[in-house]
Chain A
Amino acid sequence: MGRDLEKYLRPEVKSTPFCPGCGHGILMNLILRAIDALELHMDEMLFVSGIGCAAWIPSPNFNADTLHTLHGRAVAFATGAKMFNPKLKTMVISGDGDLASIGGNHLIHAARRNIDLTVICANNMIYGMTGGQVASTSPVGAITSTTTEGNIYRPFDLCKLVLGAGAPYVARYSVTQPVSLIEAIKKSLTTEGFTFVEVLSTCPTQFGRRNRYDSPADMLTMLKESCISKQEAEQLTPEELQGKVITGEFSDGGA
């Protein structure tokens, strides 16, 4: 992370909590770049996270009000804080297991209510913190510590889920698309109402090692190759779309 962003970090925090090569570190950087570009003041911000590696992105790193909550419940905590004090610019940052599995109900209800929250879901397609168990976002065939012969269930399309619940801004990008991702985070912060950015991240420690990505770089290459834009997707047949992840804005907040 560039030294220019250190002003957003708590001075007492000296090291990253993440494994070497973890995609969450890239995401942490990109969130701060978006905040920097918008010139938001950390005194106005509230960061809420659940439990998991991704939930450590803001807590304790970000030098702002931070609320590190229970597994799955970040959106519910954030709803209370935001409803009581609407002046708090509230961003939820948490993992796929946290926001989409155990916390899935809170996610869709906050979207339905259009609570003015920005939700960043760091989707590494696995439960990283607890040792690499299958998630509701793991691809079919993924080898995990609880699917040693490959995951048999299809993953959630989180953007469709949140879109279906009525969120005004919904986008998906990967940590390998930093420029688009910063723009999406900026837009999610400036669009009123419930905004959702799904960020494809990497977990080399738990996902990579079991699925034959021998280095963190291999995992990033995999993401680069599987992520395609909406426009590219339109040119492909259903067979060609197999294994691809469509990225872009799925609802642009009416902008």
Chain B
Amino acid sequence: MTRRKIDSTLSPGFYYFSGNEAVAEGAIAAGCRYYAGYPITPSSETMERISIRFKDVDGVFIQMEDEIASICSVIGAVWAGAKAMTVTSGPGFSLMQEGIGYAALTETPLVIVDIQRAGPGTGQATRVASGDLMQAKWGSHGDYQTIALSPWSVQEMYDQTIDAFNLAEKYRVPVFLMGEEAIGHLRERMEVKPTVDIFDRAKKPGAPPFGTNQDDGIPPMPAFGEGERLLVTGSTHNEFGIRKTDDPEVHANLVTRINNKILKHRESIIKTEPYYLDDAEIIVVAYGFTARSSLFAVDRLRKEGKKVGLLRLKTIWPFADGIIHQIGRVAKKLFVPEMNRGQVRGEIMKYVACEVIPYNQTNGDIIHPHEIMKQVRSLL
């Protein structure tokens, strides 16, 4: 990582942005200079802002004919040397899945922001949900790993967009910022700092771009036009990109490596935030907007003397199995409020033996703090 002065025309200081605008600014600060997208509520404000702001920083913006074209052109631009991004919501995220699998297998770093809305289907386009988390993990066919982040504020829409680019570059993997409508459209004060930490793409001329002897399992990544005569393919390939579509060993090694390069580093990728965990009997596990409501509720309950804590997940994938296992051993019960039918609760239950109580709300509204207080009180 190198620390740099922000290379965008936005001066440091405080701004009153919406979450979707903050994503555009975070991307620019992180060095994103290619954006392709297709309009979809509740995410379009990012694309609109990028279309204007890229003029200041010499970025390439293109509104494509659909989300399939968007993700594919992003991958093309990344191999031409760009840091690149696309932003969408549920239906568009569904269309991108084949391209996401291609990016995973070709180890193409890129960022996809999904401003989640109430699904399935067209659902409620303007209403909030967090129903795409399993899609972020399993949406494309085959076995692969990705990284998915869950912001809870406008500040984090900005900061985690920068993190997403750095993680993508570091691990050569697609990274998802799993926003939610309520944060995309929330407007609040956020700070643009004068410097930003940037991870630059690792280069090593002549080295194989799809394999490495290094323990970290992450090969360096050249670009088109550098004279490397690259061979990029979404079919199974050896370390130089030569197709090996019926060699069992090459396939097994490739799939194992692209999974392990994320799983082996999960301790440094996973970020969580603990609140009042030390003596908590009931621990709320929450993420995204629901973690905001949960913190408000837990603060109140603590003032009433109740032994309640909160574990906030900033990373959804890879899953925070270690700390979840730990809190499962000390707490009496875990309480998991979600704007879906229990996608993260199911994951938690793989790692704990204690009771894990769900609260699932899929009505297009946020989960309000008073509802969390009511539910947690009933468990005490």
| Residues of A participating in the B interface, judged by any CB pair closer than 8 Å | 10, 12, 42-44, 46, 48, 59-60, 63-70, 73, 76-85, 87-88, 105-106, 109
Q: Establish whether residues B232 and A83, one from each chain, have CB atoms under 8 Å apart when the complex forms.
A: no
Contacts of B213-237 to chain A: CB distance below 8 A: 223-225, 227-235
Tell yes or no: B64 within 8 A of A by CB: yes
User: Which A residues are in CB contact (< 8 Å) with B69?
Assistant: 73, 76, 79, 105-106, 109
Tell yes or no: B76 within 8 A of A by CB: yes
Nearest B residue to A89 by beta-carbon distance?
B225
Q: Establish whether residues B81 and A109, one from each chain, have CB atoms under 8 Å apart when the complex forms.
A: no
Tell yes or no: B82 within 8 A of A by CB: yes
State the CA gap A221–B103 with chains docked (Å): 43
Q: Establish whether residues B234 and A64, one from each chain, have CB atoms under 8 Å apart when the complex forms.
A: no
Residue tally, chain B, CB below 8 Å to A: 41
Q: Establish whether residues B229 and A80, one from each chain, have CB atoms under 8 Å apart when the complex forms.
A: no
Q: Establish whether residues B229 and A60, one from each chain, have CB atoms under 8 Å apart when the complex forms.
A: no
Partner of A43, one of B80, B84, B229, B240: B229
Tell yes or no: B73 within 8 A of A by CB: yes
User: Which A residues are in CB contact (< 8 Å) with B300?
Assistant: none
Q: Mark B112-138, 1 if CB is under 8 A from A, else 0.
A: 000000000000000000000000000
Least Cβ–Cβ distance between B60 and chain A, in angstroms: 5
User: Which A residues are in CB contact (< 8 Å) with B228?
Assistant: 65
Q: Establish whether residues B225 and A84, one from each chain, have CB atoms under 8 Å apart when the complex forms.
A: no
Chain A to chain B: the 3 pairs with minimum beta-carbon distance, closest first = A80-B76, A80-B73, A80-B77
Tell yes or no: B62 within 8 A of A by CB: yes
Tell yes or no: B102 within 8 A of A by CB: yes
Partner of B243, one of A44, A60, A77: A60
Q: Establish whether residues A59 and B224, one from each chain, have CB atoms under 8 Å apart when the complex forms.
A: no
User: Which A residues are in CB contact (< 8 Å) with B225?
Assistant: 44, 46, 65, 85, 87-88
Q: Establish whether residues B81 and A84, one from each chain, have CB atoms under 8 Å apart when the complex forms.
A: yes
User: Which B residues are in CB contact (< 8 Å) with A70?
Assistant: 72, 98-99, 102, 234
| Residues of B participating in the A interface, judged by any CB pair closer than 8 Å | 33-34, 36, 60, 62, 64-66, 68-69, 72-82, 84, 98-99, 102, 223-225, 227-235, 240-243
Partner of B224, one of A68, A88, A106: A88
Least Cβ–Cβ distance between A64 and chain B, in angstroms: 6
Partner of B80, one of A10, A44, A88: A88
How many residue pairs, one in A and one in B, have C-beta atoms under 8 Å apart? 123
Nearest A residue to B70 by beta-carbon distance?
A76
User: Which B residues are in CB contact (< 8 Å) with A73?
Assistant: 68-69, 72, 99
User: Which B residues are in CB contact (< 8 Å) with A105?
Assistant: 65-66, 69
State the CA gap A69–B75 with chains docked (Å): 10
A-B pairs with beta carbons under 8 Å apart, 25 shown: A10-B229, A46-B224, A60-B241, A65-B230, A66-B230, A66-B231, A67-B76, A67-B230, A68-B231, A68-B235, A73-B69, A77-B76, A78-B76, A79-B76, A80-B72, A80-B75, A81-B76, A81-B224, A82-B76, A82-B80, A83-B60, A83-B62, A84-B34, A84-B81, A85-B80
Q: Establish whether residues B102 and A84, one from each chain, have CB atoms under 8 Å apart when the complex forms.
A: no
Q: Is the interface of A mostly helix, strand, loop or mixed?
A: mixed
State the CA gap A60–B245 with chains docked (Å): 13
User: Which B residues are in CB contact (< 8 Å) with A67?
Assistant: 76, 79, 224, 230, 232
Nearest B residue to A17 by beta-carbon distance?
B243
Least Cβ–Cβ distance between A110 and chain B, in angstroms: 9
13 more CB-based (< 8 A) A-B contacts, given A68-B243, A85-B80: A46-B224, A48-B76, A60-B233, A60-B243, A65-B228, A67-B76, A67-B230, A76-B76, A79-B69, A80-B73, A81-B79, A106-B65, A109-B65
Q: Establish whether residues A85 and B75, one from each chain, have CB atoms under 8 Å apart when the complex forms.
A: no
Q: Which of B60, B76, B79 has the most CB of A within 10 A?
A: B76
Q: Establish whether residues B235 and A69, one from each chain, have CB atoms under 8 Å apart when the complex forms.
A: no
Q: Establish whether residues A68 and B233, one from each chain, have CB atoms under 8 Å apart when the complex forms.
A: yes
State the CA gap A77–B36 with chains docked (Å): 11
Q: Establish whether residues A80 and B36, one from each chain, have CB atoms under 8 Å apart when the complex forms.
A: yes
User: Which B residues are in CB contact (< 8 Å) with A68?
Assistant: 231-235, 243
Partner of A64, one of B72, B74, B79, B229: B229
State the CA gap A104–B123 with chains docked (Å): 28
State the CA gap A66–B36 with chains docked (Å): 22
State the CA gap A76–B34 with chains docked (Å): 14
User: Which B residues are in CB contact (< 8 Å) with A10?
Assistant: 229, 231
User: Which B residues are in CB contact (< 8 Å) with A76?
Assistant: 64, 68-69, 72-73, 76
Least Cβ–Cβ distance between A159 and chain B, in angstroms: 21
User: Which B residues are in CB contact (< 8 Å) with A44?
Assistant: 225
User: Which B residues are in CB contact (< 8 Å) with A78?
Assistant: 76
State the CA gap A65–B233 with chains docked (Å): 11
State the CA gap A44–B76 with chains docked (Å): 16
Least Cβ–Cβ distance between A6 and chain B, in angstroms: 15
User: Which A residues are in CB contact (< 8 Å) with B81?
Assistant: 84-85
Q: Establish whether residues B230 and A60, one from each chain, have CB atoms under 8 Å apart when the complex forms.
A: no
Nearest A residue to B235 by beta-carbon distance?
A68
State the CA gap A65–B79 with chains docked (Å): 10
Q: Establish whether residues A80 and B34, one from each chain, have CB atoms under 8 Å apart when the complex forms.
A: yes
Q: Establish whether residues B231 and A81, one from each chain, have CB atoms under 8 Å apart when the complex forms.
A: no
State the CA gap A83–B69 with chains docked (Å): 13
User: Which A residues are in CB contact (< 8 Å) with B240?
Assistant: 12
User: Which A residues are in CB contact (< 8 Å) with B34?
Assistant: 80, 83-84
User: Which A residues are in CB contact (< 8 Å) with B36?
Assistant: 80
Least Cβ–Cβ distance between A115 and chain B, in angstroms: 9
Q: Which of A10, A42, A77 has the most CB of B within 10 A?
A: A77
User: Which B residues are in CB contact (< 8 Å) with A69?
Assistant: 72, 75-76, 102, 234
Q: Establish whether residues A79 and B229, one from each chain, have CB atoms under 8 Å apart when the complex forms.
A: no
Least Cβ–Cβ distance between A45 and chain B, in angstroms: 9
Least Cβ–Cβ distance between A167 and chain B, in angstroms: 16
State the CA gap A42–B228 with chains docked (Å): 11
Q: Which of B33, B77, B224 has the most CB of A within 10 A?
A: B224
